[in-house]
């Protein structure tokens, strides 16, 4: 009988909704054993009236309805909705502990609740996001951001760039590396033996034969031809305005969009509140919620746990596929 995967759930910014969302994990069954990383006093406070909190004991899994917490101490008391730079390094300590546990075999993957980039930077630590932090900590030269939800998997060739910088960023090397990472993780972590990837063009109408831009001709098509000859099933470059119609989507297992706002508005339209951010290319499984810290909702009990539930379910499936 296959062992039940153990997942680390980082509770994120202590002034945000992360801790109370983690408390709600006790309300539903999971195929994985879920271990929340955070200050146990904070978790008891935010879980009051929702779930019992118990210290994580490796050899004694908690019963259903109980939140297991691996204690990482706060640097300063946390008040819902009020950021404190004193806890910036606490947030990073959660990530470090989860990552160390994944790399040491203690955890099968990590699911991250939202952090606040600004307060971490204000605390004296240059920080651009979970993805970049994990990539640097693991020495991974290139990772790929993919969002999953509403029956779609949408990966990005470029992420948080000004639109004017996108064409120059899409090089043959970048595109080939991105497609190789996407293909490898669809096979190894999503259990797809022969994934079909739909690749969007950069320009309207995929360049319309060069009349609306030559990136498709000069960059995208040569890479697709090279990788097809290596056995990958790639369709494209396709005009983005017709790629996301049901008939076309049915022909693929994932989409590669060229830039952030080409692919994500469609996915978020069909999955908002239940979408999952996945980092591909890391040596560990990592999924995340698709929303921020929601400081205005912290401590109110009104935050929607749907995205965290979906992130846990996806990480569980990925861990099972990889085992």
| Alpha carbons 322 and 257: distance in angstroms, whole number | 25
The two tokens of residue 112 are 């991250």
What percent of the chain is modeled with pLDDT above 70? 99
pLDDT band at 128 (very low <50, low <70, confident <90, very high): confident
| Res 2 pLDDT > 70 | no
Identify whether residues 273 and 293 lie together within a single domain: no
Residue pair 69/102 in contact by the 8 Å Cβ criterion: no
| Alpha carbons 204 and 225: distance in angstroms, whole number | 21
pLDDT digits (tens, 9 = 90+) for 134-163: 999 999 999 999 999 999 999 999 998 999
What percent of the chain is modeled with pLDDT above 90? 89
Residue pair 43/69 in contact by the 8 Å Cβ criterion: yes
Domain count, the chain: 2
Identify whether residues 107 and 149 lie together within a single domain: no
The DSSP secondary-structure symbol of 140 reads -
Identify whether residues 136 and 4 lie together within a single domain: yes
| Predicted pLDDT at 96 | 97
pLDDT band at 129 (very low <50, low <70, confident <90, very high): confident
Identify whether residues 149 and 196 lie together within a single domain: yes
pLDDT digits (tens, 9 = 90+) for 3-13: 899 999 999 99
Identify whether residues 42 and 160 lie together within a single domain: no
Map tokens 């509770």 to a residue.
11
pLDDT digits (tens, 9 = 90+) for 11-25: 999 999 999 999 999
| Alpha carbons 120 and 88: distance in angstroms, whole number | 5
Identify whether residues 171 and 269 lie together within a single domain: yes
Name the residue range of residue 311's domain: 1-140+282-323
Residue 137, preceding bond cis, omega within 30 degrees? Answer: no
Rounded to the nearest 10 degrees, the angle between the axes of helix 88-103 and helix 130-138 is: 50
Identify whether residues 131 and 150 lie together within a single domain: no
Identify whether residues 187 and 294 lie together within a single domain: no
The two tokens of residue 66 are 């109980």
| Alpha carbons 79 and 98: distance in angstroms, whole number | 24
Identify whether residues 133 and 186 lie together within a single domain: no
């Amino acid at each position: 009988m296959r062992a039940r995967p153990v997942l680390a759930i980082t509770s994120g910014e202590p002034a945000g909704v992360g801790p109370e969302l983690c408390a709600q994990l006790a309300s539903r069954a999971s195929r994985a054993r879920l271990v929340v990383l955070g200050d146990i006093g904070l978790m008891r406070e935010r879980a009051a009236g929702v779930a019992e909190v118990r210290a994580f004991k490796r050899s004694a899994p908690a019963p259903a309805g109980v939140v297991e917490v691996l204690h990482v101490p706060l640097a300063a008391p946390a008040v819902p909705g009020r950021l404190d730079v004193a806890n910036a390094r606490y947030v990073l300590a959660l990530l470090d502990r989860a990552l160390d546990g994944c790399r040491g075999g203690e955890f099968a993957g990590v699911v991250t609740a939202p952090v606040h980039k600004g307060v971490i930077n204000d605390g004296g630590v240059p920080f651009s996001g979970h993805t970049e932090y994990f990539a640097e900590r693991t020495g991974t030269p290139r990772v790929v951001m993919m969002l999953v939800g509403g029956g779609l998997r949408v990966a990005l060739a470029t992420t948080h760039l000004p639109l004017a910088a996108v064409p120059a960023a899409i090089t043959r090397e970048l595109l080939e590396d991105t497609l190789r990472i996407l293909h490898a993780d669809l096979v190894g972590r999503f259990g797809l033996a022969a994934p079909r990837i739909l690749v969007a063009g950069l320009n309207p109408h995929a360049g319309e034969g060069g009349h609306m831009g030559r990136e498709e001709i000069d960059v995208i098509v040569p890479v697709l031809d090279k990788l097809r000859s290596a056995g990958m099933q790639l369709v494209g470059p396709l005009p983005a305005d017709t790629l996301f119609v049901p008939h076309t989507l049915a022909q693929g297992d994932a989409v590669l969009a060229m830039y952030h706002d080409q692919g994500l508005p469609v996915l978020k339209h069909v999955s908002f509140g239940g979408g999952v951010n996945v980092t591909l290319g890391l040596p560990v499984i990592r999924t995340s919620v698709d929303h921020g810290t929601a400081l205005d909702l912290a401590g109110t009990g009104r935050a929607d746990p749907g995205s965290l539930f979906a992130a846990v379910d996806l990480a569980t499936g990925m861990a099972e596929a990889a085992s």
